[in-house]
Amino acid sequence: MANYFSDGIADVPFLADADLTAQQFKLVKASSSSGYVQAFASETIGSGSPLAIGILTNDPSAGQEAAVKCIGFTKALGRVAVCDLAHGAWLTGASDGLVEACSAVDGTDHVIGRWFGPRVTTADASVYGNVLIFVTSTCLGTDSV
């Protein structure tokens, strides 16, 4: 059984904008309603679409409290896309709310944290792992990361 890091940083309480029961340990973003979050979908830097704000650590239905880890260590669901998930890999958000390794250094991969879970090399494989989440507006190749 995996051992998940605990850093003592509390989750931030929001409300679920819709049913998020299938989104636990995935990324969420701010909703258009104040104090609410919704499931994360792909983002394009500079498009005006809301960026991820953290990892959902519970599984709320619409209107229930959504616990969001915005900074620190947490459990997350990651997937191998273009690059392997390796210990210490820089992470970005996938279109379905999973985290995946950053692949671009041209300013298009929005960095949301680092992977400290098991190494995964199989394309499209997903696995739970430790993630250090620190959502910023930094992109690989545009700032020093």
Per DSSP, the residues of 25-77 read TSEEEE-SSTTEEEE-----TTS-PPPEEEEE-S-PPTTSEEEEE-EEEEEEE
Quote the number of domains for the chain.
2
Query: Tell me: the pLDDT tens digits for 115-125?
Result: 998 888 887 77
Residue 24 structural domain:
12-71
20 shares a domain with 66: yes
More confident position, 106 or 15: 15
User: Given this model, what pLDDT does residue 121 score?
Assistant: 81
Beta-carbon contacts of residue 83 (< 8 Å; ≥ 6 apart): 89, 100, 101, 102, 103
C-alpha distances (whole Å) from 36 to each of 16, 32, 62 are 6, 8, 10
Query: Tell me: the pLDDT tens digits for 23-72?
Result: 999 999 999 899 999 999 866 545 556 789 999 999 999 999 999 999 99
Task: Report which of 44, 20, 46 is spatially closest to residue 31, judged by C-alpha positions.
Answer: 20
8 Å CB contact between 55 and 5: no
8 Å CB contact between 56 and 66: yes
Q: Determine, yes or no, domain membership for 5.
A: no
Q: Determine, yes or no, domain membership for 60.
A: yes
122 shares a domain with 88: yes
Q: Determine, yes or no, domain membership for 112.
A: yes
Q: How many CB atoms lie within 10 A of CB 41?
A: 15
